[in-house]
Amino acid sequence: MSMPGEAKLLPWHRDIWSRLQAARGAGRLPHALLLAGAGGLGKRQFADAFAHSLFCASPDESGAPCGHCRGCHLFQVGNHPDFICIEPEEAGKAIKIDVIRGLVDKGALTTQAGGYRVIVIEPADAMNTAAANSLLKTLEEPVPWTLMILVTSRPGRLPATIRSRCQRVTFPIPPRHQAMEWLGGQIGQGDPQLLLALASGAPLQARALAQAEILKERALMADEFYAAFKGEQDPVAIAGRWEKLDLPRVLNWMAGWLIDMLRLKSGAQPPVLYNPDQRPRLQSMAQGLDFKVLHGMLDRVYDANRTLGSQLNTLMLLESLLLAWANSKTASGVRENT
Ligand SMILES: [Zn+2]
C-alpha cells in the first residue's frame, strides 16, 4: 500500500496529522492554523502535505492523497491555483504588507478550482507589523473553504491578536528513538547521536548538519571561540571571518556553547549537553568564568538574535560579541576579587 502523501509525512507528524484529518472529517477544521515548534521538525513540509490532502478529490481514510486526481496532479507539478505560499523575498527579510494586501485585493481568497484554498505563510514571524495588521483583517472575516496555515518556530514574535485567531498546533521534539531511526536512514555518514544533540533533537536540522561543510565550520568556529577566550587570536579578526557565515547559525552555536558552560557550572554531572564532543574545552572555559558573566554573554547573543533581519551592521555586532567574550575572563576575575 504505497500512498504518495505518506512519503512526505514524517514519522513524528502522524499524531498531528490524524488529529487534523479527524477535524476535517467532522467539518471542524478551523480557518487558520498556527504550526509552532522548533525549527527542523518539518512544519512546512507538514503544511504542504496537509494542503495536498485538502486538494485531493479522493483521499484515503487516513487523509493520504490519491496521487492521480486533477487536484493531486496540479499540486504535484507545483501549479495548483488555490495553493498560495507567502515567504520573504529573501531569507531573513521581512514579509511586507503588499503581499498580504494582495491576497485580499485580488480576491485571492476565493477558490479557483472549486475546493479548498490554502495559504501558507512561512515564517509567519517574518511579517512586519503592517503586514500582520493586514492579515489580521482577513483573519477577522474568515472566508469559507479557505485555510490559512501560519508556520513559525518563534510564535512569541507574532502579535497576540493573530495568535488568538489561529488554532495552535504545537510540534513537539520527537522521541529520541524515532528521531534516531529516521536520521539513520537519511545520512550516509556522521554520528546520528551527536548530530541530534547538536540540533537539540530536531531531526531535519540534524540532517542539515550532517553536511560535512557545516560541521567543519562549527569545528573551526569552536577553535576560534576558544582562541579568543584564551587571548590567542584577535577577536576582531575572528569577527571578520564569521561575518561571512550564516549569522543565525553563528549565534546558535555561540548560544549552545554558553548554555553548555552554564550547565557544566551548575552541576558535576550535567544531564545533556548541546555539544557533548566539546565537553573538556567547555569545562575548562567554564571554570574561569562566573555565572553572571556567562549569563551576560548569553543575553548578548539572544539580543543579537532578536535584531536579526534588521538593518544592523553584522560585523559590528560580531565584533562587540567577540570582544566581550575575549574580556569575559577578566570580567569574571575582577568580579571575584571585589
Ligand atoms: Zn488525489
Contact 128, 100 (CB under 8 A): no
Tell me the chain's radius of gyration from C-alpha atoms. Answer: 23
Per-residue model confidence as pLDDT tens digits over 248-282:
889 999 999 999 999 898 876 666 788 988 999 99
C-alpha of residue 75 to centroid of ligand 1, in Å: 9
C-alpha of residue 64 to centroid of ligand 1, in Å: 8
Residue type, 246: D
**pLDDT in the model for residue 271:** 62
Per-residue model confidence as pLDDT tens digits over 94-145:
999 988 888 766 555 566 667 899 999 999 999 999 999 999 988 888 888 8
pTM, full prediction:
0.69
**pLDDT in the model for residue 156:** 94
Distances in whole angstroms, Cα of residue 128 to Cα of each of 96, 120, 123, 199: 6, 16, 11, 28
C-alpha of residue 142 to centroid of ligand 1, in Å: 26
- Which residues crowd ion ligand 1, with CB under 5 Å? 56, 65-66, 69, 72
Contact 75, 18 (CB under 8 A): no
C-alpha of residue 14 to centroid of ligand 1, in Å: 19
C-alpha of residue 72 to centroid of ligand 1, in Å: 4
* Residue closest to 307 by CA, chosen among 257, 242, 248, 225: 248
Low-confidence ranges of the chain (pLDDT < 50): 1-7, 335-338
Mean pLDDT of the chain: 88
**pLDDT in the model for residue 122:** 96
In terms of Cβ atoms closer than 10 Å to its own Cβ (0-12, 13-18, 19+), residue 147 is buried
C-alpha of residue 79 to centroid of ligand 1, in Å: 14
Residue 15 has a CB neighbour count (10 Å cut-off) of 9
**pLDDT in the model for residue 106:** 53
DSSP 269-325: S-S--S-GGGHHHHHHHHHTS-HHHHHHHHHHHHHHHHTTTSS--HHHHHHHHHHHH
C-alpha of residue 2 to centroid of ligand 1, in Å: 13
